[in-house]
Amino acid sequence: EIVLTQSPGTLSLSPGERATLSCRASQSVTGSYLAWYQQKSGQAPRLLIYGASSRATGIPDRFSGSGSGTDFTLTIRRLEPEDFAVYYCQQYGSSPRTFGPGTKVDIK
Amino acid sequence: QVQLVQSGAEVKKPGASVKVSCKASGYTFTCCYMHWVRQAPGQGPEWMGAISPRGGSTNYAQEFQGRVTMTWDTSTTTIYMELSSLKSEDTAVYYCARASGAAGTPNDYWGQGTLVTVSS
């Protein structure tokens, strides 16, 4: 099973700032099948990025993903008020699909 | 538009079973796998398994083997997840989540979640 580690656990930033979130895998992620999800309190996760760097339908271009192998990054170029949430990475190239523990982006 | 609508909250006693439904609409039902993901309070999501409505193949996470059963009904475009021998640790929100293909596709649409509480 691929174990995903996310850092930092919490990121305290102000609106307009840049957020950089990290996801590291215990072994190489097949096909760069790495996704990022945003989750707000009481809601289901929302797909942001798939294939490490492709934006899902309707996702603003301030969200970008990069990386390959075992190291991946989600960048939010300029934080908007609605971006403060928890972000999870997920690998879906190997079974079982696994998720990271999440990074909470909160308002400084 | 794609919609996944899940059944309502459940309260169960330890040792009982729970069956959660997920009604799909807005796409060709047999095109896609349906995954089940649960999330315990304050925790990250945990993948439980998946089923293909085309042919019925299933893939369950080892942790749930023997306790989980996923089924489908094409006539009502509904997917079901049944979890047996419930323990307090099974208290969580359970989500269905579509994947547009087989392996190698992300979960692009999610249900609203079903809270299952296991308590004596």
Predicted confidence (pLDDT) at residue B103 exceeds the cutoff of 90: no
Distance CA A22, CA A14 (A): 19
Predicted confidence (pLDDT) at residue A58 exceeds the cutoff of 70: yes
Tokens coding B55: 């042919």
A45 touches chain B (CB under 8 A): yes
Predicted confidence (pLDDT) at residue B44 exceeds the cutoff of 90: yes
**Parallel, antiparallel, or unpaired: how do β-strands B114-118 and B10-12 relate?**
parallel
pLDDT per position as a tens digit, B61-82: 999 999 999 999 999 999 999 9
- Contact criterion met (CB < 8 Å) for B44 and A101: yes
Calculate the dihedral angle through the C-alpha atoms of B42, B45, B51, B57, rounding to the nearest 10 degrees. Answer: -120
CA distance A106 to chain B (A): 16
- Contact criterion met (CB < 8 Å) for A92 and B99: yes
Strand ranges in chain B using DSSP code E only, listed in sequence order:
3-6, 10-12, 18-25, 33-39, 46-51, 58-60, 68-73, 78-83, 92-99, 107-110, 114-118
DSSP state of A28: P
Mean pLDDT, residues A44-54:
97
Choose the closest CB to A44 out of B44, B106, B111.
Answer: B111
| Residues whose CB is less than 8 angstroms from the CB of residue A95 and which lie 6 or more positions away in sequence, other chains included | B59, B103
CA distances, A20 to each of A26, A45, A62, B109 (Å): 20, 19, 12, 25
Task: State the number of CA atoms in the 13 A half-sphere of A29 facing the CB.
Answer: 29
Distance CA B32, CA B53 (A): 7
Distance CA A56, CA A86 (A): 17
pLDDT value for B51: 94
- Residue B102 pLDDT level (bands cut at 50, 70, 90): low
pLDDT per position as a tens digit, B6-41: 999 999 999 999 999 999 999 999 899 999 999 999
- Residue B103 identity (one-letter amino acid): A
Mean pLDDT, residues A67-96:
97
Residues of B in contact with A97 (CB under 8 A): 35, 47
Predicted confidence (pLDDT) at residue A79 exceeds the cutoff of 70: yes
Predicted confidence (pLDDT) at residue B107 exceeds the cutoff of 70: yes
- State what percent of residues in chain A have pLDDT above 90: 98
